[in-house]
Amino acid sequence: MLASITAVLCACPARAELTWNFPAPATPLALDTLQVHNKFMVITMAIFVAVFAVMIYSIVTHRKSRDFKASRFTGPSTAVQIFWTAVPFLILIFIDFILMGIPAYHSVLVMQDTRGDADMVVKITASQWKWQYEYPSEGIRFVSALATPQAQIDNREAKGEHYLLEVDNPLVLPVGKKVRFLLTSTDVIHTWWVPQFGTKRDAIPGFIRETWARIERPGIYRGQCAELCGKGHGFMPVVVQAVSEAEYRQWLVRKKAAQAAVAVGAAQVWSRDELMKHGRKIYETLCVVCHQADGRGIPNVFPALAGSKVVNGPFLDGKGRLVKDGHLDRVMNGKPNTAMQAFKDTLNDSDIAAVVTFERNAFGNKMDDQVQPAQVKVLR
Ligand SMILES: [Cu+2]
């Protein structure tokens, strides 16, 4: 028994880096809330020590073995009674309102301060189980999904340093700028949370909520969805890369060029191999959480794509229109009121064409056909 406890204790520090304090604040707001926390800890510790000191002193000095005789007075004067009621009352007012209330109120005000003086706006859309980031004034939009390989999740490979806290496309932000975040969701409630920013806001379907951050130091900041949002809840991390203003400008240029390249790619005819290769990548980042790596889904929850009638059925009718509830329709428009969301707005033409082609020719499906990006484009 003792040996096993010792073994567990000794193994712990080797497994995870143990830290006892909060992560270093990266925004003024996070610093503010940390200071409130620390101040409150000092106050509660002082109260704890004072109350226990009196209690322990009384227990020790007035104990029976010392033959202590209790005093037997009754009914002290009204003045004394008012006095010993009023004094604790005043102490409480002082501690609660002055020492704790004012700093807490200040923090909450700062937290809510999303007035129009922000330098830039980022729109965050949550969906099961990934984040979409949009820079409205730059015309940039992309999906940020978990990048941890499935093999690590399945314990077939050793877990990496940032296990479940890594994404394919991090949110890139400039330091020193007030960034206003607008949050919403397409399905259930999610929460966008980066501990080092001191911000945590629910993304609620049908509502736009807001929060903000002014990141002070460049670096990579990691967080998670903090609202239990279904099976993939633990698989939708938030990664923010804070860079200098100049690097941010360069990133914008690169990102725009990449988007333009995607548009060019969508105008070309892709080979089957290209479609399959790209389709596998999309499938592994976005669909695998539900339909599983082998395409067999989870019985009664997520349908199998292997052997599915939809996947192994037509996707366009004779006139080149979408077959209702066909393969392409299901992927582009989803199925209302189920976990199968519409991918039309999250994926570009090439992504949709590739992932559909992949599904039709993987997991034992042998449709031997393909979808071209240009076909998806006209169906939008
Ligand atoms: Cu979530």
d(CA 85, CA 109): 34
Q: How confident is the model at residue 331 (pLDDT cuts 50, 70, 90)?
A: very high
- The alpha carbon of 128 and the centre of ligand 1 are apart by a number of angstroms equal to 6
Segment holding 253, helix H or strand E: helix 245-267
Task: Please state the φ and ψ torsions of residue 210, each to the nearest 5 degrees.
Answer: -140, 155
Residue 85 has pLDDT above 70, yes or no: yes
Tell me which DSSP letter residue 57 carries: H
The reported pLDDT for the residue numbered 377 is: 87
- The alpha carbon of 234 and the centre of ligand 1 are apart by a number of angstroms equal to 8
The tens digit of pLDDT for each residue in 310-325 reads: 999 999 888 888 888 9
Q: Mean pLDDT lowest for which of 16-20, 189-193, 327-331?
A: 16-20
d(CA 213, CA 29): 8
Quote the mean pLDDT of the chain: 89
- The alpha carbon of 223 and the centre of ligand 1 are apart by a number of angstroms equal to 12
The reported pLDDT for the residue numbered 116 is: 67
- The alpha carbon of 200 and the centre of ligand 1 are apart by a number of angstroms equal to 12
The reported pLDDT for the residue numbered 18 is: 66
- The alpha carbon of 123 and the centre of ligand 1 are apart by a number of angstroms equal to 16
The reported pLDDT for the residue numbered 12 is: 47
The pLDDT > 90 percentage for the chain reads 59
The reported pLDDT for the residue numbered 73 is: 74
Segment holding 205, helix H or strand E: none
This prediction's pTM: 0.72
- The alpha carbon of 81 and the centre of ligand 1 are apart by a number of angstroms equal to 55
- The alpha carbon of 189 and the centre of ligand 1 are apart by a number of angstroms equal to 7
- The alpha carbon of 149 and the centre of ligand 1 are apart by a number of angstroms equal to 19
- The alpha carbon of 357 and the centre of ligand 1 are apart by a number of angstroms equal to 28
Q: How confident is the model at residue 170 (pLDDT cuts 50, 70, 90)?
A: very high
- The alpha carbon of 265 and the centre of ligand 1 are apart by a number of angstroms equal to 32
The pLDDT > 70 percentage for the chain reads 95
- The alpha carbon of 213 and the centre of ligand 1 are apart by a number of angstroms equal to 20
The tens digit of pLDDT for each residue in 15-54 reads: 455 678 888 999 999 999 999 999 999 999 999 999 999 9
- The alpha carbon of 301 and the centre of ligand 1 are apart by a number of angstroms equal to 18
- The alpha carbon of 228 and the centre of ligand 1 are apart by a number of angstroms equal to 6
Q: How many CB atoms lie within 10 A of CB 199?
A: 19
- The alpha carbon of 130 and the centre of ligand 1 are apart by a number of angstroms equal to 7
- The alpha carbon of 185 and the centre of ligand 1 are apart by a number of angstroms equal to 9
User: Pairing mode, if any, of strands 238-243 and 171-174?
Assistant: parallel
The reported pLDDT for the residue numbered 17 is: 59
Place of tokens 């004094």: 87
- The alpha carbon of 127 and the centre of ligand 1 are apart by a number of angstroms equal to 7
- The alpha carbon of 5 and the centre of ligand 1 are apart by a number of angstroms equal to 35
The tens digit of pLDDT for each residue in 213-256 reads: 999 999 999 999 999 999 889 999 999 999 999 999 999 989 98
- The alpha carbon of 370 and the centre of ligand 1 are apart by a number of angstroms equal to 33
Q: How confident is the model at residue 330 (pLDDT cuts 50, 70, 90)?
A: very high
- The alpha carbon of 286 and the centre of ligand 1 are apart by a number of angstroms equal to 14
Residues 64, 67, 71, 72, CA torsion sign: positive
d(CA 178, CA 119): 5
The tens digit of pLDDT for each residue in 105-132 reads: 989 988 888 776 889 999 999 998 899 9
- The alpha carbon of 224 and the centre of ligand 1 are apart by a number of angstroms equal to 8
- The alpha carbon of 237 and the centre of ligand 1 are apart by a number of angstroms equal to 9
Helix orientation angle between 349-360 and 272-282, rounded to the nearest 10 degrees: 100
Token pair for residue 76? 């002290």
The reported pLDDT for the residue numbered 2 is: 52
- The alpha carbon of 113 and the centre of ligand 1 are apart by a number of angstroms equal to 25
Angle made by CA atoms 346, 349, 351, in degrees to the nearest 5: 65
- The alpha carbon of 124 and the centre of ligand 1 are apart by a number of angstroms equal to 12
- The alpha carbon of 140 and the centre of ligand 1 are apart by a number of angstroms equal to 22
The reported pLDDT for the residue numbered 5 is: 55
